[in-house]
Amino acid sequence: MKTFERHLAREIYGATLLVLAAFLMLFSFFDLIYEFESIGKGGYQLQHAVLYVLLLVPGRSYELFPVAVLIGSLYALTQLARHSEITVLRTSGAATPTFLWALMKIGLPFVLATFLIGEVLAPLADKTAQQIRLSAMSQLVAQEFRTGLWVKDDKAFVNIRETTQEGGLRGIRIYQFDQKFELQTISEAERGEFRGSDMWEFSNVTRTTLRDDGARIEHLPTLSWRSGLNPDILSVLMVNPERMSILRLYRYIQHLSANQQKTDRYEIALWKKLIYPLACLVMMALALPFAYLQDRMGAVSIKVFAGIMMGILFNMLNGLFSSLGILNSWTPFVSAVTPSVLFVLTASAMLWWSERR
């Protein structure tokens, strides 16, 4: 790596890590304040809230990494421009393609870090956080296996094969035990719908009651069941696509396709997981034109503010195009890649304009 590239890398890495740390502390503070409302529910105490917020940090890092890279790169390049280092490099023959190539090489560790956090660390930490919160606030304990989601609800064990986007359940089994933890009934239902007030209504139910003199089987069109489970908890534990790994998303898409169900939401999430780490490179390219702008008093703060606004806009566009893609049945790849493409075009236009000046 050339001397100027090493110098540029040190400046960008230092500024980006500082910005990311500041964002994480800010968001963690707000998360902790939000959790204060839940302290006292069940066995949920301050130590549970602190641990829960800490476990959310990897997920926050994944969401904020491109924005931190944008602001960090923008700040570092602007500082170099203020000290005329960019001007010296350009007069020494370092053209825009040279700067872009250097930034792309510097940005590769950011891409790798974002991918690994989003694929390995964040899903595991987020799932652990939700398990801790759920276990502390109620008697529910959940774990997911190949056979679906298993939940302990008081003295019942519930197996859920899958959930729908509307929050319904399919393929439910409930194993009910008594005070001595002896199996009393096994209920199997085809579907389940949440009716509010902790009440579920199951349809096409087969209930097996175990007695001393044998087993009695009943077929019921509907069955009401009261539980601490609700669609919000299930969306966190089982089918929230933004919290799935790429492999899990792919397998779930295959499963839905085999059962002739809509997969748009999950395909968009899959493409976003693949494309999102590359947004770090897009952000670095977007920061370069700011280094070419002539320095003025207060220009650094203005440029950093512009970077924050562009980062917010990028996150908003990511969510907007995902929702539009689902509503309008757009091609999942197009829905996922459009925000990044728009920012690449913006960066290209800004570079062209700064070169023309």
Name the percent of the chain lying above pLDDT 90. Answer: 31
Q: What is the pLDDT of residue 171?
A: 87
- Residue 177 falls within a domain, yes or no? yes
Which of the four pLDDT bands, split at 50, 70 and 90, describes residue 13? Answer: very high
Q: Which single residue is written with the structure tokens 């964002």?
A: 23
The pLDDT of residue 319 is above 60: yes
Which range among 2-16, 125-139, 271-285, 306-320 shows the weakest confidence by mean pLDDT? 125-139
User: Does residue 116 sit in the same domain as residue 246?
Assistant: yes
Domain count within the chain: 2
Pair (305, 165) in one structural domain: no
Domain presence at residue 233: no
- Tell me what percent of the residues of the chain surpass a pLDDT of 70: 89
Distance CA(49)–CA(34), nearest Å, equals: 10
Q: What is the pLDDT of residue 249?
A: 83
Model confidence pLDDT, tens digit, residues 91-108: 777 777 888 888 899 999
Tell me: do 262 and 312 sit in the same domain: yes
Residue 132 is assigned to a structural domain of this protein: yes
Q: Has residue 222 been placed in a domain?
A: yes
Do residue 252 and residue 106 come from a single domain?
Answer: yes
Average pLDDT over residues 216-241: 76
Check whether residue 151 and residue 116 sit in a common domain: no
Instruction: Please tell me the predicted confidence (pLDDT) of residue 261.
Output: 67
User: Does 234 fall in a domain?
Assistant: no
What six digits make up the tokens of 224? 């009401």
Q: Is the pLDDT of residue 166 over 80?
A: no
DSSP β-bridge partners for residue 78: none
Listed residues 189, 206, 227: the one ending a domain = 227
- Are residues 338 and 257 part of one domain? yes
Q: Is the pLDDT of residue 314 over 80?
A: yes
Which structural domain range is residue 31 located in? 3-137+239-356
127 with 260, same domain? yes
- With a cut of 70, say whether residue 258 has pLDDT above it: yes
Which of 174, 207, 227 lies at the terminal end of a domain, its last residue?
227
Cα distance between residue 285 and residue 338, in whole Å:
17
**Phi, psi at residue 290, to the nearest 5°?**
-65, -30
* H/E segment holding residue 96: helix 96-116
Are the C-beta atoms of 205 and 219 separated by less than 8 Å? yes
Residue 232 lies in a domain: no
Check residue 297 and give its pLDDT: 43
Q: What does the block give as tokens for 177?
A: 């035990």
* Per-residue model confidence (pLDDT) at position 60: 92
What is the rounded distance in angstroms from the CA atom of residue 2 to the CA atom of residue 61? 30
Are 254 and 196 part of one and the same domain?
Answer: no
Q: Which of 200, 227, 254 is the last residue of a domain?
A: 227
